[in-house]
Amino acid sequence: MPLSDRVLARLREAVDQPDLTDTRYAMRRLLGRGGMGTVFAVFDAVLEREVALKVLTAGDAAGRLLSEARVVAQLEHPGIVPVYDSGVLADGRAFYTMKLVEGVHLDAFIHDTPSLSDRLRVFQTLCDAVAFAHSRGVVHRDLKPGNVMVGPFGEVLVMDWGVGVAGTPVYRAPEQSEPGGDVGPAADVHALGVILRALLPSPSRPLQALIDHATAADPAARYADARELHREVARYLDTGSVEAYRESAFERVARFYRANQPLLVLFLVYIVVRFALFLWSRP
């Protein structure tokens, strides 16, 4: 008799359940599963707080998980989830603990945030965290909404800095599919461009040009790194224009009018009043 999906799910949970014997941690609940490991909420008895514990999925190499822990431990930034502890459990599986992030994934945030400026500012914060990693020589390689959390106070946290991962097909840069391809910061820029496309279902022409530039097939044709992409978004928020898009004369005039509409209206009122006074004062 075949087992039901519910029974199979429980069996899988039992297999994934880490052996926390002789550790400072007590099991609380399952948080999620990824390609490399499973994440649980556990209670740290020493510091008396809940943290997230990532443990190897059965069959994975311990070295990869511990390499991920070491990489993240070097990235001390408000937008990157900090690592607290790492080691090997009684069942022989590697683990590390990190901050337990409260909030929603980026894709859920999109549904609850209609404001264009709010979406772009969250995206800027994401770019800032990735730019910091690039400045430390670290490339994420698997940026996607499921690896980005937005907290209740607008904080943005990038997770799952896997070492040597191939990336998720929808967000993966073309060079990541090439055997021995050179995967650098431009691969993360490509993924960020795809994420921005998801954030902006109906982008303006300048923003569409920005997205196209970030997701160009040739890595050399993209923004050099996440810092340049951050600056381009900041330029759009400040002026409504981007370097990746050449405006027509009409578009420049329209943008100037939108940016200075209150001043132009006051100037027009001033001209009308002066003209009216001129007519009234004539004999």
Digit-coded pLDDT (tens) for 135-177: 999 999 999 999 999 998 889 999 888 656 678 899 999 999 8
Does the domain formed by 5-98 have CATH 3.30.200.20?
Answer: yes
Which of 87, 21, 71, 81 is closest to 51 using CA atoms? 81
pLDDT at 64 over 90: no
What is the pLDDT, as a whole number, of residue 248? 63
- Given a contact cutoff of 8 angstroms between Cβ atoms, the answer to whether 51 and 42 are in contact is yes
Count Cβ atoms within 10 A of the Cβ of residue 201 and give its class: 0-12 exposed, 13-18 middle, 19 or more buried: exposed
Ordered DSSP codes for 186-232: HHHHHHHHHHHHHH-SS--HHHHHHHHHHT-SSGGGS-SSHHHHHHH
Count Cβ atoms within 10 A of the Cβ of residue 137 and give its class: 0-12 exposed, 13-18 middle, 19 or more buried: exposed
Read off the pLDDT of each residue in 110-129 and give the average, rounded to a whole number: 93
Which range, of 2-11, 126-135, 196-205, averages the lowest pLDDT?
Answer: 2-11
Q: Comparing 111 with 282, which gets the higher pLDDT?
A: 111
What is the model's pTM?
0.81
Read off the pLDDT of each residue in 72-86 and give the average, rounded to a whole number: 91
pLDDT at 244 over 70: yes
Read off the pLDDT of each residue in 108-137 and give the average, rounded to a whole number: 93
| Residue 85 designated active-site | no
pLDDT (tens digit, 9 = 90+) per residue, 190-233? Answer: 999 999 999 998 999 999 999 999 999 999 999 999 999 999 99
Q: Which two tokens stand for residue 161?
A: 């800095």
Q: Predicted confidence band at 7 (pLDDT cuts at 50, 70, 90)?
A: very low
What is the pLDDT, as a whole number, of residue 153? 86
What is the pLDDT, as a whole number, of residue 13? 55
Read off the pLDDT of each residue in 99-117 and give the average, rounded to a whole number: 90
| Residues paired with 148 in a beta bridge | 158
Q: Which two tokens stand for residue 139?
A: 């490339």
The CATH superfamily of 104-239 is: Transferase(Phosphotransferase) domain 1 (1.10.510.10)
Read off the pLDDT of each residue in 65-87 and give the average, rounded to a whole number: 87
Count Cβ atoms within 10 A of the Cβ of residue 273 and give its class: 0-12 exposed, 13-18 middle, 19 or more buried: exposed
Q: Comparing 51 with 179, which gets the higher pLDDT?
A: 51
CA dihedral (71, 73, 76, 82) in degrees, to 10, reads: 120
Catalytic member of 142, 160, 188, 225? 142
Which of 3, 33, 1 is closest to 16 using CA atoms? 33
Alpha-carbon distances of 24 from 32, 57, 85, rounded to whole Å? 21, 21, 11
